[in-house]
Structure 1
Amino acid sequence: MATHREIRLRTRPERGLPAPGNLALVTTARPEPAPGEVLLRNRWFAVSAALRTLIGGAVKGAPLPPVEPGDPLFGAAVGEVVSAPDGSGLRPGDLVSHWQGWREYAVVSPSLCTPLGDALPDPVAHLSQGRTAYAALTRGVDLRAGDTVLVTGGAGAVGTMAGQIARLLGAGRVIGSTGSPAKAERLVTELGYDAAVVRGAAAPFAAQLAEAAPDGIDVLLDTVGGEQLSAAVAAARPGARAVLVGALSGQLDPEGTGATARVELDSYPLVLKRISLRGFSPLDHPETEAEWRERFGDWLRAGAITFPHVRVAGMERAAEALREVMRGRHLGAVVVELP
């Protein structure tokens, strides 16, 4: 019997971030395709902090289902076609993107596979979360030339792309927030940020933001929420636009369940300065997928943008990679590479 390995949720963490005992590396029977299905051998898959919410249980209105104890984790992946049904347009050896990561082999419907083609020079770049940032800045807010932009969580998978994209779209000043001075330095020296604000530094976050953006901010791309969202509202200029794409302050709360992200906001500035706050998902703008892929490929080939990421080798390190992501160890995206 052919076997493969996958990472499963053993038990839900009651509070805080997952511990080693919550996840298990399991050897099980390799899935076999039913008629009309595609068999894939995964080559790379992304490690996302958003899994904290999915393994915590159901969240009303979430676009993805929760992971139940005993289930394998899932997420964005790039797989190689092993077999495909006639008429699917797929051939053995083709690379496709899909959502059945965290396992060595996957069986999916052809309609849920996207052939990679040659739009991007590196297949791993298809695991970038740049599309989220691109869609948020082009559809979620009306980014204008010269805008001062704040990206919270600037060192994360979305944030490391968002600062570069904002600059390419014409932003005049780009500020990022992060959790360590070392990451703050890299945002400025490597990723085009003009300044970085460090959460947990001696100076209060709001005071650092006021220094980094003395004239206020025009656009907020928020992946964090919490006190950073509150400080951004206080620093906003009249007519500022905020687009909220994540809630890491709640997802990565060491004492929380990952299902809530509470924030206290002063509503007076929202009214008096006509500030708009908008929750956003790129899933509402499917046209941005092909548009982003084309622009991303052009920018990569021109050397105008990079895809900051860390590659972790082997399924054996996948569970630990997830814990590292949730603890903020890495800058950029984290990708597990399978031999």
Structure 2
Amino acid sequence: MGYCLEQTGFNQILQEWSKDYFIYAPKRFKDGGGFSDTDRIRYGEIHTVEEIVFDLKSEFSFKEVLLPLSQTLFFFTEEVVKEADPPKKGAVIFLRSCDLHAVKRLDAIYLENGCEDYYYQRLRDKVKFVLLGCQYSFENCFCVDMGTNRTDAYDAYLEIINGKVYVDNHNEAWEALLAARSAATPAVVPACVTRNETCVHIPAGITLEVMGATMWDEYDSRCINCGRCNFVCPTCTCFSMQDIFYTDNGKAGERRRVWASCMVDGFTEVAGGGCYRQKNGQRMRFKVLHKVYDYKKRNGYHMCVGCGRCDDICPEYISFSHSINKLADAIEEVAANGGK
């Protein structure tokens, strides 16, 4: 049902939600940018609707709410193992359509991949999603071609028009709260873009023979294996395990899982000193094909959601969308070389 509220009225709703949930949205971090006197837009806890940034793309995704950068799984001593306590409250996350599609990818990886990840599940069960509409396409976005520019899989949708807050609510538990502070209004339809400046074409019939194309060689010198593209990506899920031993007692500590990246040194190192992908071009090849080939082969839809954050963040101006668009020529090249 649609509702129209004053911003003060919606802030009262946020106060009520905060009793049971931490509330996260893209917000401005003053002087938190990569350069002097620049701000950064990323996810953080909010208390008022005025804190939400609607007109800029967040540089980091919502992912660090569901998948903390460093997450303690359990504590241990010589004789006792204690599971880390779950969060005391759930979370309400304000996010755009592409990111809500990314949640589907995270769920598939952590919950539908042969077994359920217990630590992800206990967070995921307590999360609600509020969709933010896109009035226009941001730089480097290609969500339209990826089919992630619209969704109806939200608990509520929110937009601000002429200082009024408009909400489309799908969550029955929130109906009374919204109705008490607002007037019903005709259907509120989520805003979405239908065209991006950046376009991609993923060729049909990609095979692993494309691994032999020369397009990957250029990334040996261009990529500096910093891993930024993975860390801002809402669908990258790799992590490593770390056992932290307390300095005052070397037999007690905790086990954490920490974000990792297929683009950084050491990710594919194995016992005996072997390394599957030593060159940066090989790592780029793995990342691109994982996003637009093998994930779809298993799940039926592409892993990439077209948010464009990887293009935004790369210090070497490597464009993931351009990499996708080079695949057609790469397929022709390997075909002309007899599949080699």
Please report the TM-score for the alignment, with normalisation by the length of structure 2.
0.25
TM-score by length of 1: 0.25
